[in-house]
Amino acid sequence: MIKKIPFLAISFLAILFLCIHCSKDEGTENPITNLEETKFVKTFGGSKNDVFQSVVKTADGGYAILGYTQSNDFDITDKTNESFDFWLMKFSSEDTLLWQKTFGGSDDDRGYDVVATQDGGFALLGFSKSADGDVSDNKGNQDFWFLKITANGVISWQKTFGYSGSDSGTTFIQTSDNGYLITGVLDVTASNGQGNSKVAQKHAGGDVWAIKLTNSGDLEWSKYFGGSFTDTPFGVVETADNNYLIAASSDSEDFNITNNKGTYDFWVLKIASDGNLIWEKSFGGSEIEEPRGITNTNDGNFVIVGDTRSQDKDVRVNNGGADLWIIKISTDGNLIWEKTHGGSSFDVARSISKTQDNGFIIAGNSRSSDVDFTNQGQNDAWILKVDNSGNKVWQKFVGGSQNEFLFDAIELNDQSIIAVGETSSSDNKILENKGFSDGLIIKIK
């Protein structure tokens, strides 16, 4: 005997079916990941290793990308050897490559950070092991290498800073007085305590090294900060009172570090315009936290992003092996809020920058394939938009069957997003790979 379904129940099911059908037609099945569209995925490189590390928007509506290249073929047209060189590419607002230049000597030279300077040119920072070619001097195994170039890529001047060990520039800003504050790692042991303007206690290992330069590259002061282990800066901003905030990772618990939470922490230090330490704070749990970027917020505070493996102390939630961790701190270094984003595997951030709607764009990579994460291979490129409270607005994943990493992302004037990094794939959304790894550009509109 067949039971009759009441008329009201049939009507309800029909309405429910129509609602579901309309929802799918309107593309709202996954609002987190479908709000923005990937405009293009491009690769550049040669037959060796090529990486993009930093991107900056330019006054003409375009952008410039800095990285390093080992290749001397295919897309790399102005070098002859297979040592690593700084690699700078300038694109128009229509994404057309206007020019590219490599800078370096006969040894290993790698660019990490680029700034569009107020005179319309660029400044570049990284490290150099060379003492020939474009590099004027080398005092040890490797030095900070800082270049000022014109809008057309011609070197105006360049300087090296270092001692007998491995000293590496990582990040910098152009300051409000048109000078530069450059930061990186000083091999304090090898330098025998050199690197401070005044006599200071000698730390071991690598310390945060801050160097203030004039607009023409002359040294104003030099200071290092840290403890007995490894302290590495990954971001710096100028504060409203014309001092500086540096975001670093640290596994030390002595000398300048007074409150280590676990192994590596987010270590934030505020230094004065003359380089003297004002305060320092550590943030994290009992495991590893490493910051990778810092930016000012519109309310006068600061947001720092990186990754965490903890689930205690300052970290309330951890979804897997490592999560993206974002914190907001006050001008005095007090924690305002913290958020984690990630799946069950390793998901990390590598940069953060402000957007025009007071939110933030974060670049990183992900190995997760659960919750609302997708994964095409090993590490996938991950672009995350969050609001001014750290909540997810949308996210995008781009990857092939191998590894994709993003190191930086910015919003252009037309609100499109440019993200840069490296790829080893040649399938799925990565259509071409010319060597071991290629520079990767993703545009989202």
pLDDT of 193: 84
pLDDT of 347: 97
In a domain, 134, yes or no: yes
156 contacts 148 by C-beta, under 8 angstroms: yes
Res. 3: pLDDT tops 80:
no
User: Nearest to residue 270, comparing CAs of 243, 294, 251?
Assistant: 243
Handedness of CA 116, 246, 337, 299 (dihedral sign): negative
The mean predicted confidence, pLDDT, of the chain is: 91
SS3 letters for the chain?
CCCCCCHHHHHHHHHHHHHHHHHHHCCCCCCCCCCCCEEEEEEECCCCEEEEEEEEECCCCCEEEEEEECCCCCCCCCCCCCCCEEEEEEECCCCCEEEEEEECCCCCEEEEEEEECCCCCEEEEEEECCCCCCCCCCCCCEEEEEEEECCCCCEEEEEEECCCCECEEEEEEECCCCCEEEEEEEEHHHHCCCCCCCCCCCCCCEEEEEEEECCCCCEEEEEEECCCCCEEEEEEEECCCCCEEEEEEECCCCCCCCCCCCCCEEEEEEECCCCCEEEEEEECCCCCEEEEEEEECCCCCEEEEEEECCCCCCCCCCCCCEEEEEEEECCCCCEEEEEEECCCCEEEEEEEEECCCCCEEEEEEECCCCCCCCCCCCCEEEEEEECCCCCEEEEEEECCCCCEEEEEEEECCCCCEEEEEEECCCCCCCCCCCCCEEEEEEEEC
In a domain, 214, yes or no: no
Mean pLDDT over residues 231-235, rounded? 97
In a domain, 420, yes or no: no
Select the more confidently predicted residue: 216 or 262.
216
20-35 tens-digit pLDDT: 333 333 332 233 444 5
Looking up tokens 């940069």 gives 351
Task: Report the DSSP beta bridge partners of residue 394.
Answer: 385
At residue 9, φ and ψ (nearest 5 deg) are: -65, -40
pLDDT of 198: 67
What is the distance between the alpha carbons of residues 267 and 261, in angstroms, rounded to a whole number? 10
309-346 tens-digit pLDDT: 999 999 999 999 999 999 999 999 999 999 999 999 99
Q: How confident is the model at residue 19 (pLDDT cuts 50, 70, 90)?
A: very low
155-167 tens-digit pLDDT: 999 999 999 999 9
In a domain, 82, yes or no: yes
Q: How confident is the model at residue 205 (pLDDT cuts 50, 70, 90)?
A: confident
Mean pLDDT over residues 163-176, rounded? 96
pLDDT of 23: 34
364 contacts 379 by C-beta, under 8 angstroms: no
276 contacts 256 by C-beta, under 8 angstroms: no
SS3 letters for 194-223?
CCCCCCCCCCCCEEEEEEEECCCCCEEEEE
What is the distance between the alpha carbons of residues 365 and 351, in angstroms, rounded to a whole number? 11
Q: How confident is the model at residue 192 (pLDDT cuts 50, 70, 90)?
A: confident
Mean pLDDT over residues 401-415, rounded? 97
278-291 tens-digit pLDDT: 999 999 999 999 99
Domain count, the chain: 1
- Beta strand 97-103 pairing with 85-91: antiparallel
pLDDT of 339: 98
In a domain, 87, yes or no: yes
Q: Which residues contact 136 (CB under 8 A, 6 or more apart)?
A: 158, 159, 160
In a domain, 291, yes or no: no
Listed ranges 31-35, 140-144, 188-192, 203-207; the one with the highest mean pLDDT: 140-144
pLDDT of 302: 98
pLDDT of 186: 96
389-403 tens-digit pLDDT: 999 999 999 999 999
Res. 16: pLDDT tops 50:
no
pLDDT of 1: 37
In a domain, 315, yes or no: no
At residue 117, φ and ψ (nearest 5 deg) are: -80, 165
What is the distance between the alpha carbons of residues 164 and 167, in angstroms, rounded to a whole number? 8
Q: How confident is the model at residue 203 (pLDDT cuts 50, 70, 90)?
A: confident
Q: What is the largest CA-CA distance in the chain?
A: 97
Res. 18: pLDDT tops 90:
no
40 contacts 55 by C-beta, under 8 angstroms: no
Structural domain boundaries, residue 116: 43-161
Res. 12: pLDDT tops 50:
no
Using CB atoms within 10 A of its CB, is residue 261 exposed (0-12), middle (13-18) or buried (19+)?
buried
The pTM for the full model equals: 0.91
In a domain, 285, yes or no: no
* Range of weakest confidence among 9-18, 394-403, 417-426: 9-18
Q: How far is CA 287 from CA 162, 226, 260, 312, in A?
A: 32, 19, 11, 9
Res. 141: pLDDT tops 60:
yes
* Range of weakest confidence among 94-103, 265-274, 372-381: 372-381
